[in-house]
Amino acid sequence: MKVSSTVTMDFKKIRQLTQAQITALEMTAEALHTDVVQAQVMPRDTGNLQNESTFVEYTDVRSGRAVIVSSTPYARRLYFHPEYHFYKGENPHARGKWYEDWLPNGKKKDFCREVFEKHYRRLTGV
């Protein structure tokens, strides 16, 4: 028995789907940043750490990587020391390790997957 097949690649559609992945990743990273700010979990005194110094970095987005960066010299110290007594006047849920809710085993662990899926479906019409 002889079988043959022909495969035709739709490169335009492949590029469109790839670009949709990149755009959905950018939108997901921004949504995560927004959700963290709205959850009021970052320590806040003057607002510098949360507002001006924390941003999404897109340098490696084409490789499937977006990073939320806090560029202040004290961000690491605050994040990795949950034993500090954080001022809660501006952000009532302020604490160290403020991203834990969005990490595996956190109460919002599915947030990024769900947001990415929503944006990807909307962008691709799938």
Within a domain: 5: no
Between CA 33 and CA 112 the distance in angstroms is 11
Q: What is the CA radius of gyration of the chain?
A: 20
Query: What pLDDT, in 10s, does the model give residues 46-77?
Result: 878 988 999 999 999 999 999 999 999 899 99
Q: State how many domains the chain has.
A: 1
pLDDT for 126: 80
Give residue 113's domain range.
Answer: 34-124
| Residue that the structure tokens 């492949």 belong to | 14
What mean pLDDT is predicted for residues 107-126? 96
Position 4 in a domain: no
For residue 81, the SS3 value is: coil
Task: Read off the pLDDT of residues 76-99 as tens digits, 9 standing for 90 and up.
Answer: 999 999 899 998 999 999 999 999
Answer whether residue 12 is part of any domain. Answer: no
Given pLDDT bands bounded at 50, 70 and 90, which one contains residue 122?
very high
Is 9 part of a structural domain of the chain? no
Which DSSP helix (H) or strand (E) runs through 37?
helix 11-39
Q: Is 29 part of any domain? A: no
Q: How far is CA 34 from CA 30, 83, 85, 112, in A?
A: 6, 25, 24, 12
